[in-house]
Amino acid sequence: MSLPVTTQSIKPYTGEKARLVRAYDYLILVLALFLFIGSFHLHFALTVGDWDFWVDWKDRQWWPLVTPLMGITFPAAVQAVLWDKFRLPLGATLCVTALLIGTWITRIFAYHYWNFFPVNMVLPATMLPGALVLDAMLMLSNSLTITAIAGGSAFALLFYPSNWPIFALFHQPVEYANAQLTLADLFGFQYIRTGMPEYLRIIERGTLRTYGQYAAPLAAFCSALLCTLMYALWWYIGKWFATTRYLSKI
């Protein structure tokens, strides 16, 4: 993964050049932040969608499988550019932070103020712990293979336990309508979503329940395996679509 480099000593910029270079940094950073807020948020809304929108979609089976798998995409692509060309190990953290900024803006303004849902019903999940580990892993290993396998797995495996402190309390049981529900289920029943009937929720379907009743760890390990592949795929997507040809001319 290391670039073919020729060792030579160059002096850092000083004076006006240094100021201009720093201004360029900030310009790119601000643009990148807005770009990732918009694009990663859109990608996430279209792929993870309801699993991240609603508290009563965050199940043990599909939520921890789908979310990291779709969430590792942009971080891998941006890491490919920022690490390969600049040795900046912040691609994953930058992407996930931008995603969360966009998500929180949407949840508060679109879901709460515009559509009247209580914010706790639409709390987003966090992937920041996994992103931090992914960045640190890439920096220390300087290896796509190790980062994809160990970092990608960690990204998936850390997802459910890092979010359980946020969402565990919504899984407290309540007795309602002669049935046992979670508080999260009750949100879905009480707070009316005209376009989302109960049967649309994708919860605990299929056969990912083969180890007794422990669905979440199995889903997380399945996600970890897929994330290693997804990471490598998106690393190359990032690499193919990025260029530093303009920097080379400076």
Partner 1 sequence: MKIKITQWVYTLGLIILGFGGPVQTALAHGEKALEPFIRMRTIQWYDVAWSKQQFKVNEEVAVSGRFHVAEDWPVSVPKPEAAFLNVSTPGPVLIRTERWLNGKPWVNSVALQPGGDYEFKIVLKGRLPGRYHIHPFFNLKDAGQVMGPGAWLDISGNAGDFSNGVKTLNGEIVDMESVGLLNGIGWHLFWGALATGWLLWWVRRPLFISRYRMLQAGMEEVLITPTDRLIAKAVLVAVPVIVLAVNAVAVNRYPNAIPLQASLDRILPLPALVNAGQVDAEAIKAEYSVAKRAMVFTVRIDNRSDKPVRIGEFNTANVGFINPELPAVSSQAPATAAVLKLDDDTPVRPGETRTVTVTAQDASWEAEKLDGLINDADSRVGGLLFLYASEGGERYISSVSAAVIPKF
* Of residues 75-94, those binding partner 1 (CB under 8 A): 85-90, 93-94
Which lies closer to partner 1 via its Cβ, residue 46 or residue 178?
178
How far apart (Å, rounded) are the C-alpha atoms in residues 69 and 48? Answer: 9
165 binds partner 1 per the rule CB under 8 A: yes
How far apart (Å, rounded) are the C-alpha atoms in residues 101 and 82? Answer: 21
Between residue 39 and residue 58, which ones bind partner 1 under the rule CB under 8 A? Answer: 56-58
Stretch that binds partner 1, among 69-77, 166-174, 220-228, 231-239 (CB under 8 A): 166-174
Closest CA to 1 of 115, 109, 147, 102: 147
210 binds partner 1 per the rule CB under 8 A: no
Shortest Cβ 24–partner 1 spacing (Å): 6
Shortest Cβ 181–partner 1 spacing (Å): 5
How far apart (Å, rounded) are the C-alpha atoms in residues 123 and 22? Answer: 36
CB 79 within 8 A of CB 135: yes
Between residue 170 and residue 199, which ones bind partner 1 under the rule CB under 8 A? Answer: 170-187, 189-194, 197-199
**CB neighbours of 185 closer than 8 A, spacing ≥ 6?**
56
37 binds partner 1 per the rule CB under 8 A: no
Which lies closer to partner 1 via its Cβ, residue 41 or residue 58?
58
Between residue 223 and residue 242, which ones bind partner 1 under the rule CB under 8 A? Answer: none
Q: C-alpha 222: how far from its chain's center?
A: 17
For the chain, report the end-to-end CA distance as a whole number of angstroms. 24
